[in-house]
Amino acid sequence: MPLEVRERDIPGVGMRYEIDLDDHQTVMVLLHTNGRREIYYRDTQKSDDFERVFSLSDTQARALGLFLVGAYYQPIATKFGQESSSGRYVDWYAVDSRSPLDGVQRETVPFTDEYGVTLLAVERDDAVHSTIDDAFTFAAGDSLIVLGTDGQHNDFARFAYDG
């Protein structure tokens, strides 16, 4: 079953996202404007109503998100480029002393504008940083965790490794 994400703006509350897991199961995330996330589950074989599973603060949701995208552990399937229905997948980029990224601030790298990729996190010294502000300076030894399509990854890799 192809992954389809349905989203709906809920005025004054935030955004609602639904993902069908199979023909009967659906997960719904309610992202409040204050950053809180509520996770709901529905099995239409049992009920047409969603049941609240848990709620997360913004910080908790970001940490859980890092686990889900494989920032701490890269499953074998992801290593072989398993893609979402939109063709996006996560890839890792090592920064070394010859990299054009070494010593460069995040604000000067056009991740999305020029390359179409999204910087998800940076791993440095056994810590994963999921919030990368514009003043963050990349350094040799960093690993960048990046989301994009095959073409976007190719373009970004040429920049990241060749300048």
Q: Is residue 69 part of a domain?
A: no
My answer on whether 86 and 140 are in the same domain is: yes
Q: Is residue 67 part of a domain?
A: no
DSSP symbols for the chain: ----EEEEEETTTEEEEEEESSSSEEEEEEEETTS-EEEEEEETTT-SS-EEEEEE-HHHHHHHHHHHHTSS---HHHHTT---TTS-EEEEEE--TTSTTTT-BGGGS-HHHHH--EEEEEEETTEEE----TT-B--TT-EEEEEE-HHHHHHHHHHHHH-
My answer on whether 140 and 86 are in the same domain is: yes
My answer on whether 38 and 84 are in the same domain is: no
Average pLDDT of the chain is 86
How does residue 132 score in pLDDT terms, banded at 50, 70 and 90? confident
What's the pLDDT tens digit per position in 107-116? 999 998 999 9
Looking at the structure of the chain, the number of domains it has is 2
My answer on whether 157 and 81 are in the same domain is: yes
Domain that holds residue 20: 5-56
My answer on whether 32 and 100 are in the same domain is: no
How does residue 4 score in pLDDT terms, banded at 50, 70 and 90? confident
How does residue 82 score in pLDDT terms, banded at 50, 70 and 90? low
My answer on whether 148 and 101 are in the same domain is: yes
Q: Is residue 113 part of a domain?
A: yes
My answer on whether 158 and 82 are in the same domain is: yes
My answer on whether 149 and 81 are in the same domain is: yes
> Above 80 in pLDDT, residue 81?
no
**What pLDDT is stored for residue 32 in this prediction?**
95
